[in-house]
Amino acid sequence: MTLSRGSLFDPELVTDLIDKVKGKSSLAILSKQEAIPFDGTTQFVFSMDSEIDVVAENGKKSHGGVSIAPVRMVPIKVEYGARVSDEFIYSSDERKIDIVKGFNEGYAKKLARGIDLMAFHGINPRSGTASTVIGENNFDSKVTQTVDFLQTDPDTNIEAAVAMIQGEKGKITGLAADTAFSAALAAMRTGGDTNIRLFPELAWGANPGSINGLAADINDTVAGGTNDVAIIGDFANYFQWGFAKEITLEVIKYGDPDNSGQDLKGYNQVYLRSETFLGWGILDENSFARIIKPAGGE
């Protein structure tokens, strides 16, 4: 296997990468995944303004009305690189494949976490600060329906968030929760003589995949350094994300590509760098609600 600048991941590795991301990102677990064209795509959200109309025989038909809201999803570039020994260059093909598979495994975890941090909060995952490239294309900026987190009764928080969404004619398909929120749910008990757990499936930090029959994922990316503790809504229909299909893998042999001050040749190293284009869109912000820590704490 000969790798050079600009080589592409093997299609099998791309599939493996996407599958791993889908298993580790809360957004990928709860929503749909589609490939996004390199130049971006536009999704149209149709809103029917009226109900269906009963028409008598030979009766007059009336206008129902429709609203169309376009949501533009343009892939943005993300990258990750790592130094490895220049043994990589001289290794057997099998050894090179093992190294690339290992890099692919680690990169998938970083992409999965990065998708959540970018789409939930609009931050650059590496710096932890707001990204001008992402702008307002994130839940924290777009989803204005919020409920203050009550640690002693998080179940009531969920019910209040559900009522908000249903009040906007939306439905609930998933819950993404921070560990602080799942711990608060796990601590809830019936009281009295029995005093049994209300949510035993969450005990001991478990991530069961569903709570009360609702698809759910527990992940610290939901907070991501912000006041969010849970986001609930229609992830299956109103959040979409995806990769552009081609993912590059460069093997850089010379220079200082990570600006570390250490020349690759001087340290007998090569640099593996992968770049990926990915994008997402929140198609209807009223189909979501955020549960947040109130200002100044509970």
Structural domains of the chain, with CATH:
7-45+69-292 (3.90.1690)
Q: Name the residue among 180, 181, 179, 161 with its Cα closest to residue 171.
A: 161
Question: What is the model's pLDDT at position 160?
Answer: 98
Contacts of 78 (CB under 8 A, 6+ apart): 111, 114, 275, 276, 277, 278
Task: Write the CA distances from 187 to 106, 193, 194, 204, integer angstroms.
Answer: 33, 16, 15, 10
Task: Tell me which residue of 137, 162, 119 sits closest to 33, measured CA to CA.
Answer: 119
- Residues 6 or more apart whose CB falls under 8 angstroms from that of 269 comprise 83, 84, 85, 86, 262
| pTM to 2 decimal places | 0.85
The pLDDT of residue 74 is above 60: yes
Angle between helices 93-121 and 11-24 (to 10 degrees): 40
Predicted local distance difference test score (pLDDT) of residue 5 = 44
Could you tell me what percent of the chain has a pLDDT over 70? 87
Task: Output the pLDDT for position 89.
Answer: 83
Query: Tokens at residue 189, please?
Result: 């008990």
Q: Once rounded to an integer, what is the mean pLDDT over residues 226-242?
A: 95
Q: How many angstroms separate the Cα of 142 from the Cα of each of 31, 57, 245? A: 17, 46, 28
